Each structure stands twice: as structure tokens, then as C-alpha cells.
Amino acid sequence: MACDTIRDFLSAYADNELSVESAVEVERHLQACPSCRLLVEQRRRFAETIGRLYPRASMPPALEDRIRAAIATPAAPRYWMSIVALAASLVLILAAWSLARRGQPSKPAAVVVAAQTHRHALAHELPLAVRSSDPAAVNAWLRSVLPFAVGDPVQAPTPDLVLQGAAVVNMGDEPVGYVQYGHGAQLISLLLLPPREWPQGEPPARVRNMDFHFYTVDGLKLIAWNHSPLSYVLVSDLGGRGTGACAVCHSGPADAALRSLADQGLI
């Protein structure tokens, strides 16, 4: 296979999700292509970094014991048949829901508002309520003004990014948090919202148990995802899919992995 074709399979290969036949085909290509081997290594390093940043919670022992006991009982086949029937019903419901939504805008309101907010910031029409490069101070201010659980969403950025401050913006009747960063002459905006579901725009990037959804609004690149206790929308006018802006949250090896994958268009 040519590189352009094989790269459609690299993410699934790196996550061990390909069939044996497809994996053998990819491995045959990788033996002769150092460029694609490098992409696989970068994808795996990125997944490992995300795993360290967001460790997966272990299953409670009592729950695991109950599941094993249920599987071992004679009634288990009937139970799993019920699960299969329920899954089939859900597929039909989702298909009907998808058909009902045809013709409606695909971008969620939070993404549109995030793009508009970023535009206002670029035009110097969005005054910051708190100006500080100290993540602890910005986090404390956000916790004091937002009517939902916030935690500590603002982390120390990488050296080429500067935390500038924060504000509260309204999404309809809902107040949400806004955090602003500088990247040279460019701005990066981060919207903080109560948890919500993200309708699919471009195909999401699945990293461990987190989905990163990509949108484009008037040339701006937006990334939306959930990480308890918040939902996030990141906006930038950086190149590619805007993933390099993820460095506002993660520095060090995570930043390097994100930038490398963004440069290759893998996330």
C-alpha cells in the first residue's frame, strides 16, 4: 500500500484495533517505510502520555465479582441476548434520530459561541475580568464566579505560550468561563462549560477513554472534549487542525506528542 492509504490505518494499528489481515499488511509496509514507523511511534507515545495524565479508574472488586458470577450462571445467555436486543433497538433509535436531524446545523451551540467569543477577543472587544499569568490565581477566580464545579482547569502553559487572564461570557442565559492565552501575536481561547455531549463534526480522535471532536467555524480550528468536571472548547487560528494549541493544558512530553501528531494531521 502507498503511504497515503496506509496512514488511514495507523491510528487503529497503534491501538491494536486492526484485524490480523490488516495488521499484517500494515506491518509489511512499516518494515520498508521509516516515515510511517515514526508516525506509529508518535501515536503510541501520545496515547501513553494521555494515559498518564488521565489514568483509567479501576473496576471495583465487588462489581467485577458480580459480573463474573452473572456470566457463570445458566441464565447468562438469556441476559446477553437481552443486551443484544437492547443494543439493536438503540441502533434503530440512533438511526431515526440521525435522520430527524438532517438539514439542521451540525455544529453545537457551544462551538459557535466559542468561535464568536474568540473573534471578539481578536477584535479587542472582550475585556478580561482578571489579568494574570498565574494559573492558581486564575483558577481561584473562576471557582469564585462560575455557578458550576470547575476544579483546576488552568495549567501552566509551555514557555512559548502566555496565560493572559480570564472572563465570564454568556451562552444564552448560561454563564461560562473564558481563558485567554497568547502565542506570539496570536490568541488561543479556552471555553469552560458544564459537562455536555458533543455532536460529531469531523471524525473524533479517540485516545484511551477520551474523544476529541474537531470543528471548523469561519476558518477557525476548534477542539471540543470532556474531562470531568468540565467540557472544553479550544479555539485558535493556528495551522493544521489547531491541535498544537493543546499545549495550553499540557506541557513537557505531552506537548511534544500533541504538536508532533498535529503536524502529521493524525489528531
Nearest-5° Cα angle at 176, 175 to 182: 140
Lowest mean pLDDT among 7-16, 17-26, 162-171, 254-263: 254-263
Indicate whether 256 and 201 sit together in one domain. yes
pLDDT range class, residue 131, cuts 50, 70, 90: very high
pLDDT of residue 14: 81
Using the predicted structure, report yes or no on whether residue 144 has a pLDDT greater than 90: yes
CATH of the domain at 234: 3.40.1000
pTM: 0.56
Max alpha carbon distance in the chain (Å)? 67
Please report how many Cα atoms fall inside a 13 Å half-sphere around the Cα of residue 57, on the Cβ side: 4
% of the chain beyond a pLDDT of 70? 65
Return the pLDDT at 247. Answer: 47
Instruction: Tell me the average pLDDT across 177-199.
Output: 88
Residue 42, H or E segment? helix 34-53
Three-class secondary structure of residue 245 per DSSP:
helix
Residues 94 and 43 both lie in one domain:
no
Q: Please compute the mean of the pLDDT values over residues 190-217 and round it to a whole number.
A: 78
Range of the domain at 151: 109-264
- Give yes or no for residue 92 having a pLDDT over 70: no
Query: What's phi and psi for 73, nearest 5 deg?
Result: -80, 155
* 72 in the same domain as 44: no
Domain count, the chain: 3
Whether the pLDDT of residue 208 is over 70: the answer is no
% the chain with pLDDT above 90: 20
Mean pLDDT rounded to a whole number for the chain: 74
pLDDT confidence band for 261 (50 / 70 / 90): very low
What's the pLDDT tens digit per position in 19-46? 877 888 888 888 888 888 888 887 777 7
Q: Could you tell me which residues come within 8 angstroms of residue 248 by beta carbon, excluding any fewer than 6 positions away?
A: 155, 157, 161, 163, 179, 181, 188, 190, 234
Same domain, 156 and 119: yes
Residue 129 shares a structural domain with residue 255: yes
- Identity at 28, one-letter amino acid code: R
